[in-house]
A and B are shown apart, each in its own frame.
Chain A
Amino acid sequence: MSELPGDDDDGQRRPRSAMEVFRVFNRLALQGFGGVLAVAQRELVERERWMTPAQFLELLSLGQVLPGPNIVNMALMIGDRFLGWRGAAAALAGLMCAPLLIVLLLAALYRETMSQPMVAGALRGMGAVAAGLVIATALKLVGTLRGNPMGLKACALFAVLTLLAIGVLRWPMVGVVLGLGGAAVATAWARIGR
């Protein structure tokens, strides 16, 4: 995995303190309805410029292969890379604290609010937007495949097979990651060696 560059390199920045890490993750978590990933891409890559799109995809790959919530894994890894365990703790706290309070408050108020038809309708609309956000994030990251040693055709094949296996056929994640992922990593291994 490539090292995250410092401020002077290619317009990239890095956080100065654990407090800054906390603030950025807190901000992106509070914007993340129906998942934080799309906001994370926008905030970390486009706004803060802490990483390139390729680095974001790399971290996301790792976060998805590792067990546990992807975005939490990513936050821990990003915080740890910049500022060690203090950065990891700050990223995790920023990501979780405020949303946890909100979600528990909602849980406490649930009976009065959530069963109303207007609220249910709003939830459906928000769900549709959340779907669009995730799809847009994927489309934004497609460009990073250009430098992939497997070549674009093999990449497209693996991406489409994954979409079919998980999205349409609903095969279990573990099997798809081990099977397709194993084949893809082996292909990349062979191409890099040539």
Chain B
Amino acid sequence: MNDLFFGVHGQDSGVLLQLFLHFGLLSLLAIGGAITTAPDMQRYVVGKQGWLSDAQFTSSVAIAQAAPGPNVLFVAVVGWNIAGLAGAAATLAGSLLPSATLALAATRFGDERSDSRGMRAFTAGMAPLTLGLLLATGWILTEPVRDSVGPLLLVPFTVAMMLKTKISPIWLVAVGAVVGALGLAG
């Protein structure tokens, strides 16, 4: 029971404070999403502090990606594996508070100036970059499966179904899971 709630390393308020502060700092550097900070997070919790092993860190990311919801939840799994529930709370709060405050301030600032030349130039200029980033993200996500035919067929299949039908994405994810579980994606 103790293991479940306080993680393998035991709970220590100093560790929690360090987790909160470090993840908070990373949150403010996380342009392009939380996953872009994963390499630095790994450097900190695996390399510098030795709180987790490499395999534990990688599996933390994999668990979060297997679950529904925002990818940022992987920081909660990292925190959980270090210091249980309190650790998950510390890493998640650290990752969300600074960037959330900034996002709210920015949207209010932007809304008040929505017709200004500067804001129009910003949204028009960033639109193609955002599309390019989405395509890049999709491309990077294909990396682990690029060497086998099954998943390579799953990618265009998914794109076609999303563009041509109203089917909910969750069914496509289910198809992917079944195809993969049957070993066809191996």
Interface positions of A (Cβ within 8 A of B) = 1-3, 29-39, 42, 46, 57-58, 60-73, 76-77, 80-81, 85, 88, 92, 95-96, 98-100, 102-104, 106-108, 110, 114, 117-119, 121-142, 144-145, 148-150, 154-163, 165-168, 173-174, 176-177, 180-181, 184-189, 191-193
Contact = CB atoms under 8 A, between A and B. Distances in A.
Nearest to A105: B67
Q: Which of B99, B137, B168, B182 is most buried by chain A, counting CB atoms within 10 A of its CB?
A: B137
- Which of A135, A173, A181 has most chain B Cβ within 10 Å? A135
A36 B99 CA distance: 18
Contacts, number: 401
B23 to A, nearest CB: 11
A1 B123 contact: yes
Interface in B46-78: 59-60, 62-73, 76-77
B162 A1 contact: no
Contacts of B80: 104, 107-108
A130 B183 contact: no
B159 A61 contact: no
A118 B181 CA distance: 5
A35 B154 CA distance: 17
A159 B180 contact: no
B127 A61 contact: yes
Contacts of A85: 104
A123 B145 CA distance: 10
Contacts of B114: 1-3
